[in-house]
């Protein structure tokens, strides 16, 4: 009988397994289909007919979600796994890729960047030229009532603009103006996955319910607003990087995330509408370029002269955590500014510690208050994190609670403390975050402290039977030094896809950034936060990305003939990697010097970028040669380039020959079988510089921290006699011995006495 029971259970498990497999195979998911449009069969008069016919051959019930006509040729639809496989076998199908869900990269800048009062000076173009540039922002939408979208003083909408103001229940045509010239939303991929949008929760329109999109758009191009602040913090004049540029908002991110089919539709439409700059503060999983929707869309945009700026990601300080690393994308990391919002903690043993906060409510009493560590007053294993319902009210009531950072939202922890009867919170960093300080507009008196201070407070609690503390708030403090420092959250290199291309490209302000906000939610984004603010202070590479997008718009206005690669080159080669005292920019995660794997070429310096002297330019053909160097197949290249490309089998393609403004040399590849021998390894890189200034002679200089690699630049001097003249040079790297370390860095500079055209060099070994 026992044996019969075992047989029955085994059979039941097998049946359930097959049921599960069948259900999984029959479950529909969204796929993006890349079509070989230029080889459409003659039987069809229109490519949309062909797309529909190919789809029906695999699934009679499937419908097209989007048709893509600009950044790719193809469509998106919902299919089962078996239907997707069947469709992939159809003629004319280049690839069938399952949808990816992307996430937003969020966790005083004009003055800090030297732009205050400079945008109207002679080295930037007149207002008319600056207002002809259009920045397309793909994000959570836009709050059109924000003062940062005031169009006072702006002329007619640029004649080149082909977009529109898409309407919805909460958004009408009058929501747009001469500043916010276009707004659209793309939700079909999101709704295919989650069902129809619940309009009681989020707006099925371009309206921004979350705040992120309004913040990024106004960071890039917000109009000048005097008297701006968040609850009295950071009071002053708010303005975007390119305050006269126009904004077009493309809502592609929703409560459930940013779906690649929607992102692609937004990019496709933005290119058709006529934007000059695309700004995307989002990222997904790391994948090869032909499988990365943002990379594919950005290639098409760049080939049409559109500058594409993307956030590097918030995966730092771990190495190799970058997003958006395609060489035709400008990848932006995050640094701090010289402004902070101090909070002061006093503990019962007399020690005074510093933190940060944007709390603006009723202060705690100046007298000492009882202090507890959440891990000691919790009823769950992760109670130290102050997760919902984890604290024991009887042990928390009337006390300040120390909560560890992580897992749930920082401001949410304060509500957990409040619900348990606590009166204040000290938010302590763990080793994941180090001593990085990010300020929040907390709902109870709260100070955020770094790991070092947090450990001291917890040690004090553990060694004292009656611990006490005070928390006080210091408002806004300017002139903080050193600044900038690399933010701990900012994703780091090496480049996880192509180590030969140094990423990020540069860093820009991304910590505690003040910009416009939605009227739908309070500054913390929590449901319980009913405060209505016109501006908010938040952090992330999501914030650094639109800084560079706006600066690119300024350069585009100043130099309309420059390609996206020339604009990026100007921003990179004029960036700085040291402070005025000569010391290298610090990394807040380590408290030590950062490296080009952290900051790329350095921190952006816009007033120098407008007149860089020389640029490293790139064409579409250069990028195609790069793909050939990666051994991409013709079909893989066609997915990206949308045309037939056959790499010349008789030509040697090298990633090293891509005319990039930086150098990354993974020497383990170069060493190969000679890694343990005494034979020197020699690698050569060729670069071409274009003169965008006056006739001049430039001389090369190299500074290096490594003795194991000799660097030779030939020729040592380049003389330019006219504008747009090109000169080529070669850099030879000779590795005489394998070093004990894993990385080393150098810097190449070309200077004519007025300009310094700088390129970082990164060596890596394994």
The residues that are catalytic are: 139, 212, 542
CA end-to-end span of the chain? 61
Phi, psi of 274 (to 5 degrees): 105, 35
Inter-residue contact 33 to 52 (CB < 8 Å): no
Peptide bond into 338 cis (omega under 30): no
For 593, counting Cβ atoms within 10 Å of its Cβ (0-12 exposed, 13-18 middle, 19+ buried), the class is middle
Residue appearing with tokens 């037939």: 644
Inter-residue contact 699 to 717 (CB < 8 Å): yes
The residues near 356 (Cβ < 8 Å, ≥ 6 apart) are: 340, 341, 342, 343, 437, 438, 439, 447, 448, 512
For 160, counting Cβ atoms within 10 Å of its Cβ (0-12 exposed, 13-18 middle, 19+ buried), the class is exposed
- CA count, 13 A, side-chain hemisphere, 102: 33
Structure tokens at 57: 């051959």
Closest CA to 384 of 362, 361, 405: 405
Residue appearing with tokens 């891990």: 375
Q: What share of the chain is helix, strand, coil (3-state, %, to 5)?
A: 25, 30, 45
Inter-residue contact 253 to 104 (CB < 8 Å): yes
3-state secondary structure of 309: strand
> CA dist 348 to 282, 401, 403, 456, 464, Å?
44, 14, 18, 12, 9
Phi, psi of 548 (to 5 degrees): -70, -35
Peptide bond into 484 cis (omega under 30): yes
Residues in the chain, overall count: 766
Closest CA to 587 of 499, 486, 734: 486
Closest CA to 305 of 281, 328, 337, 338: 328
Structure tokens at 651: 């030509």
- Work out the number of other CB atoms within 10 angstroms of the CB of residue 171: 23
Q: Give the C-alpha separation, 311 to 519, whole Å.
A: 25
For 749, counting Cβ atoms within 10 Å of its Cβ (0-12 exposed, 13-18 middle, 19+ buried), the class is middle
Listing from the earlier edge strand, what are the strands of the sheet with 696-704?
663-666, 756-764, 743-751, 696-704, 717-720
Dihedral of CA atoms 153, 159, 162, 164 in degrees, nearest 10, equals: 30
Dihedral of CA atoms 135, 138, 139, 141 in degrees, nearest 10, equals: 70
Q: Give the C-alpha separation, 481 to 504, whole Å.
A: 24
Closest CA to 332 of 343, 322, 346, 319: 322
Q: Give the C-alpha separation, 345 to 163, whole Å.
A: 52
């Amino acid at each position: 009988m026992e044996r019969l029971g075992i047989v029955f259970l085994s059979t039941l498990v097998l049946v359930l397994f097959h049921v599960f497999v069948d259900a999984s195979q029959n479950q529909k998911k969204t796929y993006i289909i890349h079509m070989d449009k230029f080889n459409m069969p003659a039987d069809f008069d229109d490519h949309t007919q062909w797309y529909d016919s190919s789809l029906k051959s695999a699934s009679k019930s499937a419908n097209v979600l989007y048709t893509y006509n600009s950044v790719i040729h193809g469509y998106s639809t919902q299919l089962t796994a078996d239907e997707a496989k069947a469709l992939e076998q159809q003629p004319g199908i280049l690839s069938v890729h399952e949808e990816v869900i992307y996430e937003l990269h969020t966790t005083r800048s004009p003055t800090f960047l030297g732009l205050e009062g400079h945008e109207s000076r002679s080295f930037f173009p007149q207002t008319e030229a600056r207002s002809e540039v259009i920045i397309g922002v793909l994000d959570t939408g836009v709050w059109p009532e924000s003062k940062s979208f005031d169009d006072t003083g702006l002329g007619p909408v640029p004649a080149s603009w082909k977009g529109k103001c898409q309407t919805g229940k909460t958004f009408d045509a009058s929501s747009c103006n001469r500043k916010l010239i276009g707004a659209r939303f793309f939700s079909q991929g999101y709704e295919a996955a989650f069902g129809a949008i619940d309009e009681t929760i989020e707006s099925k329109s371009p309206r921004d319910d979350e705040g992120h999109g309004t913040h990024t758009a106004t960071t890039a191009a917000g109009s000048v607003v005097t008297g701006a602040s968040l609850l009295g913090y950071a009071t002053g004049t708010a303005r975007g990087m390119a305050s006269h540029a126009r904004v077009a908002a493309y809502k592609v991110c929703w409560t459930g995330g940013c779906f690649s089919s929607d992102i692609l539709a937004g990019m496709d439409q933005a290119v058709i509408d006529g934007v000059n700059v695309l700004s995307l503060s989002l990222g997904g999983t790391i994948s090869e370029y032909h499988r990365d929707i943002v990379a594919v869309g950005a290639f098409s945009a760049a080939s049409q002269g559109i500058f594409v700026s993307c956030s590097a990601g918030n995966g730092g300080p771990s190495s190799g955590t970058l997003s958006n690393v395609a060489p035709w994308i400008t990848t932006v990391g995050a640094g701090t500014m010289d402004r902070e919002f101090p909070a002061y903690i006093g503990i019962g043993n007399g020690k005074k510690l510093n933190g940060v906060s944007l709390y603006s409510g009723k202060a705690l009493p100046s007298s000492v208050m009882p202090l507890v560590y959440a891990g000691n007053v919790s009823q769950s294993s992760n109670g130290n994190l102050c997760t919902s319902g984890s604290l024991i009210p009887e042990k928390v009531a009337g006390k300040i609670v120390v909560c560890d950072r992580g897992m749930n939202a920082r401001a949410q922890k304060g509500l957990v403390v409040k619900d348990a009867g606590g009166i204040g919170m000290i938010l302590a960093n763990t080793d994941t975050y180090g001593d990085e300080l990010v300020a929040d507009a907390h709902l109870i008196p709260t100070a955020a402290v770094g790991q070092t201070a947090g450990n001291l407070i917890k040690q004090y609690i553990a060694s004292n039977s009656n611990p006490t503390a005070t928390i006080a708030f210091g408002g806004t403090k300017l002139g903080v030094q050193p600044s900038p420092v690399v933010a701990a959250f900012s994703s780091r290199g090496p480049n996880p896809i192509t180590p030969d291309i140094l990423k990020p490209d540069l860093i820009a302000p991304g910590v505690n950034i003040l910009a416009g906000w939605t009227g739908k939610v309070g500054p913390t984004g929590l449901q319980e936060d009913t405060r209505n603010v016109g501006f908010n202070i938040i952090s992330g590479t999501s914030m650094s990305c639109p800084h560079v997008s706006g600066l690119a718009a300024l350069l585009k206005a100043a130099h309309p003939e420059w390609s996206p690669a020339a604009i990026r080159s100007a921003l990179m080669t004029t960036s700085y990697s040291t402070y005025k005292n000569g010391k290298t920019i610090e990394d807040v995660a380590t408290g030590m010097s950062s490296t080009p794997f952290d900051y790329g070429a350095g921190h952006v310096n816009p007033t120098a970028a407008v007149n860089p002297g020389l640029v490293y330019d790139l064409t579409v053909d250069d990028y195609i040669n790069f793909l050939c160097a990666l051994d991409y197949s013709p079909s893989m290249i066609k997915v990206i380039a949308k045309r037939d490309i056959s790499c010349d089998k008789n030509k040697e393609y090298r990633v090293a020959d891509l005319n990039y403004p930086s150098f990354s040399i993974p020497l383990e590849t170069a060493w190969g079988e000679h890694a343990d021998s005494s034979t020197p390894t020699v690698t050569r890189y060729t670069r071409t510089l274009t003169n965008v200034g006056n006739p001049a002679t430039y001389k090369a200089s190299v500074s290096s921290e490594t003795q194991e690699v000799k660097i030779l630049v030939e020729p040592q001097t380049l003389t330019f006699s006219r504008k747009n003249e090109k000169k080529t040079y070669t850099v030879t790297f000779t590795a005489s011995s394998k070093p004990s370390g894993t990385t080393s860095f150098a810097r190449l500079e070309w200077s004519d006495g007025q300009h310094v055209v700088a390129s970082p060099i990164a060596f890596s070994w394994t």
